[in-house]
Amino acid sequence: MAMLWDLFVTFLTIGSTAFGGGYAVMPLITRYVVEERQWITIVELADVTSISQMTPGPIILNSATFVGVKMAGFMGGVVATLGSVLPSFILILILGYYFFKHSDLAFIQAILSGLRPAIVGLILIASLALIQTSLFNGAWPGMEGSSFNLVAILTFIVGILISSKTKIDTLGIVTIGGLIGLASYFIL
């Protein structure tokens, strides 16, 4: 019980301070979970990071679940996850409440007109980063360490074709990608 509470509070602290998302949370986890509490080693943290690259899900939730399950089983995973997301859940509701109420104010509209194209620019960076990782082993062709992941390149092309020609949804496209991956194991 004490462990569950400790997990909850620790990840609540991490969740309240992890601005920026993604890898911005790593130094916080290193400090609170690896150094102060010593719940996992730095090697295990590196493993969690590499698992996060292989599986879906934000790194903060993945590491909360991993640490929680390790320390106190599935319930540990649940409380650590809840702790890590509770601060943002409450803050985003408050922010959303005021935003939906006042979004017609001229100065807010002006700020948003600046933000919308900027956000698309940031999303494009994220898309390219994922393509670089998934298709070319983390480096663009011509750069050091780059290699062609032929199966992923094939599922990428198939995914683009399906997206532009059909109405098959995300889960369908990802399933087709997974099946092609599975087939590649038996063929190659």
Partner 1 sequence: MEKPSLFRLASSFFKINMVTFGGGYSIIPVISKTYVEKWGYLSEEEMLNLIALCPSVPGAMAVNASVLVGYRLRGKTGALVSFIGAILPPLFIITAVFYFYAEFQSNQIIQAVLNGMRGAVSAIMLYATFNMAKGALKSNKIFSILMMSSIFLIGYFSDVPTVALILSAGAIGFFYFRIFKTLVLKGGL
Site for partner 1 in 127-186 (CB under 8 A): 127-131, 133-135, 149, 151-160, 162-164, 167, 169-171, 173-174, 176-182, 184-185
Closer CB to partner 1, 20 or 145, in the complex: 20
- Residue 10 binding partner 1, by CB under 8 A: no
Site size for partner 1 (CB under 8 A): 101
Binding residue for partner 1 (CB under 8 A) from 21, 27, 36, 46?
A: 21
Burial label, 80 (beta-carbon count in 10 A; 0-12, 13-18, 19+)? buried
- Nearest Cα to Cα of residue 130 among 116, 144, 149: 149
- Residue 75 binding partner 1, by CB under 8 A: no
Residue 171, CB-side half-sphere exposure with 13 Å CA sphere: 0
- Residue 12 binding partner 1, by CB under 8 A: no
User: What would the two tokens of residue 43 be?
Assistant: 């090697």
Nearest distance, CB of residue 34 and partner 1, angstroms: 17
- Residue 71 binding partner 1, by CB under 8 A: no
Tell me the CA distances in angstroms from 178 to 16, 68, 107, 184, one per residue in order.
36, 29, 46, 10
Is-contact 150 180, C-beta < 8 A? no
Closer CB to partner 1, 6 or 152, in the complex: 152
Nearest distance, CB of residue 21 and partner 1, angstroms: 5
Q: What are phi and psi of 82, to 5 degrees?
A: -60, -45
Q: How far is the C-alpha of 174 from the C-alpha of 92, rounded, in Å?
A: 29
- Residue 9 binding partner 1, by CB under 8 A: no
Nearest distance, CB of residue 124 and partner 1, angstroms: 5
User: What would the two tokens of residue 55 be?
Assistant: 């599986």
Binding window for partner 1 (CB under 8 A); candidates: 1-9, 34-42, 53-61, 138-146: 53-61
